[in-house]
DNA sequence: CGCCACATTGAAGGCAGTCAAAGGTGGTGG
DNA sequence: CCACCACCTTTGACTGCCTTCAATGTGGCG
């Protein structure tokens, strides 16, 4: 299967020669997972990392009582578990496919050989790790310093910015995950998320119909996301 | 001032030729900060990154109400704000010296030129970023999924493992930061930390005398740190 | 049609934060 | 050397956000 044309569009492999892309593809292994499949477990030995070609993957932690905290949802074109190759010898979290998913898998040793020969990949890797780092700094900030309505408002604003459509009623957008998964991403549980959505709805700030959200008062939502209490 | 011999002992510069070390030193700027000095602010343009030569620096976030979350305390030999050079254009947090501190400052552009010529630095940088990433994953996990007594117990166990001395009464160790700073690192406030320490003391698990902590029941402390309720 | 996972709502309880005040500690300068 | 001051720490009472537990509602799909 020809993935050349796909690979060069991924940030990790941008700026590479065709020959280098070919080398990279040569060491990769294509894998498919059905919805809900476990890709790897926490503490499992990290033998490689992944690039999502199609579908979505959640990377998450579980508490001893079973509560889930989603660290990130990885979409097509993004990599995950890169850091596990360079620090520690095992995966620090679980990874599970949310949809039918196709990934490229890069076995650790072969990839490390490659990266040593291709400084450009190193630089791309640094950029990728730096972005992850920023994301986690922001997640820590939110979990430690912000309440649920603030986190939810920020999520909705970000969502509307990247996939919202302006209509006569407001900015319409659609959740691309279930509400319980959203709760788990925001560091809370579905009951609390449900109640928080309801509060926003009761105040006329948003409208909710299943996965469809309409933002009626963008200003107010932004105030809440910046810390003004609901 | 000759810092050659120091630089080569730092993880970021390990495995480099003397000539390369000299180049690196040539672009660095030595700076001193007194206790409590602000090194940079959140959202300030990131013009470079830092290596701590002597002293300690805290990197932290502030909430809109002024609550502090310490992301990391950086000691001699460690780097900080590397990621700011590669993702986003501003620092994502505040940095403040906790003691009289000496750092080396590396201006962004000059360092980027260097790294492009020295693949080994890239690899070291990847290792450094990966470690940060692991640390933040673990911080997210703790803030979202663990209670304060669990976080504190884990902190004490880690502290005892790296600086504890076994005596006839138990494992003795000393906090190297104030309790309010510890609270801020654990994602809580000093009052709550104080109460949690007291609970551990009342149950005979530890003894507390100012900054000196004696672990009397290591087993119990490990149980708590692994999620068994206090 | 009936199942099952997801979602919503209510009631109750707990962990941790807030507010307030007192006690302790170390550092500095007189 | 001591006294003072600023800061840190501890404790108590109270509040509130969020979770837990439980029950009901709902929508998609075989």
A38 shares its domain with A110:
yes
Residues forming a β-bridge with B72: B59
Q: Which of residues 39-78 of B touch A (CB under 8 A)?
A: 61-65, 67, 69, 71
B126 shares its domain with B216:
no
Share of chain A above pLDDT 70, in %: 98
Nucleotide with the nearest C1' to A190 CA: C7
Chain segment A69-88, per-residue pLDDT in tens: 999 999 999 999 999 999 98
A138 shares its domain with A151:
no
End position of a domain, from candidates B92, B122, B144: B144
| Partner-chain residue, chosen from B84, B122, B136, that has the shortest CB–CB distance to A136 | B136
A10 against B108, higher pLDDT:
B108
Answer yes or no: is pLDDT of A113 > 70. Answer: yes
How far in angstroms lies nucleotide C1's C1' from the CA of residue A180? 28
The pTM is what?
0.95
Q: What is the largest CA-CA distance in chain B?
A: 59
Query: How many other CB atoms are found less than 10 A from the CB of residue A3?
Result: 17
B127 shares its domain with B166:
no
A105 shares its domain with A161:
no
Both structure tokens of B186: 């654990």
Answer yes or no: is pLDDT of B91 > 70. Answer: yes
pLDDT class of B2 with cuts at 50, 70, 90: low
How far in angstroms lies nucleotide C1's C1' from the CA of residue A131? 50
Chain segment B125-134, per-residue pLDDT in tens: 999 999 999 9
Q: Say if B59 falls within a structural domain.
A: yes
Is residue B69's beta carbon less than 7 angstroms from any atom in nucleic acid strand C?
no
Q: Quote the domain boundaries for residue B167.
A: 146-225
Share of chain B above pLDDT 90, in %: 83
Q: What CATH number does the domain containing B132 carry?
A: 2.60.120.10
- What value does the mean pLDDT of chain A take? 94
Q: Say if A113 falls within a structural domain.
A: yes
Q: Say if B160 falls within a structural domain.
A: yes
pLDDT class of B4 with cuts at 50, 70, 90: low
CA atoms within 13 A on the CB side of A182: 23
- Beta strand spans in B108-196 (E): 165-166, 171-174
Answer yes or no: is pLDDT of A1 > 70. Answer: no
Q: Say if B230 falls within a structural domain.
A: no
| Partner-chain residue, chosen from B115, B126, B138, that has the shortest CB–CB distance to A125 | B126
DSSP string, A176-209: SS-HHHHHHHTTS-HHHHHHHHHHHHHTTSEEEE
Sheet holding A206-209, edge to edge: A165-166, A171-174, A212-215, A206-209
Chain segment A151-196, per-residue pLDDT in tens: 999 999 999 999 999 998 899 999 999 999 999 999 999 999 999 9
Q: Which nucleotides of chain D are near protein (any atom < 7 Å from a CB)?
A: 8-13, 17-22, 27-28
pLDDT given at position A230: 81
User: For chain B, how many structural domains are there in total?
Assistant: 2
Q: Say if B165 falls within a structural domain.
A: yes
Nucleotide with the nearest C1' to B180 CA: D8
Q: What average pLDDT score do residues B31-53 get?
A: 95
Answer yes or no: is pLDDT of B1 > 80. Answer: no
- Beta strand spans in chain A (E): 29-33, 38-40, 48-54, 57-62, 68-74, 79-80, 94-97, 101-107, 165-166, 171-174, 206-209, 212-215
Q: What average pLDDT score do residues B76-87 get?
A: 94
Contact: A133, B133; criterion CB under 8 Å: yes
Q: How many residues are recorded in chain A?
A: 230
pLDDT given at position B8: 84
Residue with minimal CA–C1' distance to C24 is B210
A154 shares its domain with A97:
no
pLDDT given at position A74: 96
pLDDT given at position A8: 84
- What value does the mean pLDDT of chain B take? 94
Q: CA-nearest residue of chain B to A122? A: B122
Q: Which nucleotides of chain C are near protein (any atom < 7 Å from a CB)?
A: 6-11, 15-20, 25-26
pLDDT class of A50 with cuts at 50, 70, 90: very high
Is A131 near chain B, with CB under 8 Å?
yes
B38 shares its domain with B48:
yes
Chain segment A127-141, per-residue pLDDT in tens: 999 999 999 999 999
Is B135 near chain A, with CB under 8 Å?
no
Is residue A212's beta carbon less than 7 angstroms from any atom in nucleic acid strand C?
no
Answer yes or no: is pLDDT of A5 > 80. Answer: no
Chain segment A187-210, per-residue pLDDT in tens: 999 999 999 999 999 999 999 999
A132 shares its domain with A156:
no
Contact: B123, A127; criterion CB under 8 Å: no
Q: Say if B8 falls within a structural domain.
A: yes
How far in angstroms lies nucleotide C23's C1' from the CA of residue A211? 55
Answer yes or no: is pLDDT of B224 > 70. Answer: yes
Residue with minimal CA–C1' distance to D18 is A192
Separation in Å, CA of B11 to nearest CA in chain A: 13
Answer yes or no: is pLDDT of B195 > 80. Answer: yes
Q: What CATH number does the domain containing A187 carry?
A: 1.10.10.10
End position of a domain, from candidates A117, A144, A171: A144
A130: which chain B residues are within 8 Å (Cβ-Cβ)? 82-87, 129
B70 shares its domain with B91:
yes
Q: Say if A152 falls within a structural domain.
A: yes
pLDDT given at position A6: 78
Q: Say if A230 falls within a structural domain.
A: no
Is A141 near chain B, with CB under 8 Å?
yes
End position of a domain, from candidates B144, B174, B197: B144
A95 shares its domain with A192:
no
Chain segment B113-125, per-residue pLDDT in tens: 999 988 999 999 9
Q: CA-nearest residue of chain A to B72? A: A137
pLDDT class of A229 with cuts at 50, 70, 90: confident
Contact: A63, B126; criterion CB under 8 Å: no
B12 shares its domain with B119:
yes
pLDDT given at position B88: 86
pLDDT given at position A9: 85
Pick out residues whose CB falls under 7 Å from strand D: A 65, 67, 147-149, 187-189, 191-192, 195-196, 210, 229; B 178-181, 190-191, 193-195, 197-198, 208
Query: How many other CB atoms are found less than 10 A from the CB of residue B65?
Result: 7
pLDDT given at position A98: 94
A121 shares its domain with A157:
no
C-alpha A159/C-alpha A176 separation (Å) is 9
pLDDT given at position B174: 95
Answer yes or no: is pLDDT of B184 > 80. Answer: yes
């Amino acid at each position: 299967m020809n993935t050349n044309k796909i690979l060069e569009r991924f940030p990790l492999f941008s700026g590479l020669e065709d020959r280098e892309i070919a080398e990279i593809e040569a060491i990769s292994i294509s894998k498919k997972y059905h919805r809900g499949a476990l890709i790897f477990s926490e503490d499992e030995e990290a033998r490689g990392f992944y690039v999502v070609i199609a579908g979505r993957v959640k990377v998450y932690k579980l508490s001893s009582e079973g509560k889930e905290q989603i660290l990130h949802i990885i979409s097509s074109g993004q990599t995950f578990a890169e850091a596990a190759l360079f620090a520690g010898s095992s995966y620090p979290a679980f990874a599970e496919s949310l949809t039918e998913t196709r990934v490229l898998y890069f076995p650790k040793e072969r990839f490390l050989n490659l990266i040593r020969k291709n400084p450009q990949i190193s630089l791309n890797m640094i950029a990728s790790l730096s972005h992850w780092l920023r994301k986690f700094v922001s997640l820590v900030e939110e979990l430690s310093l912000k309440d649920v309505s603030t986190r939810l408002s920020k999520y909705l604003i970000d969502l509307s910015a990247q996939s919202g459509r302006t209509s006569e009623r407001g900015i319409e957008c659609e959740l691309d995950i279930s509400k319980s998964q959203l709760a788990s991403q925001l560091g809370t549980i579905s009951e609390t998320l449900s109640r928080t959505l309801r509060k926003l709805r009761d105040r006329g700030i948003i409208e909710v119909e299943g996965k469809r959200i309409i933002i009626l008062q963008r200003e107010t939502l932004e105030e809440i996301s910046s810390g003004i209490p609901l």
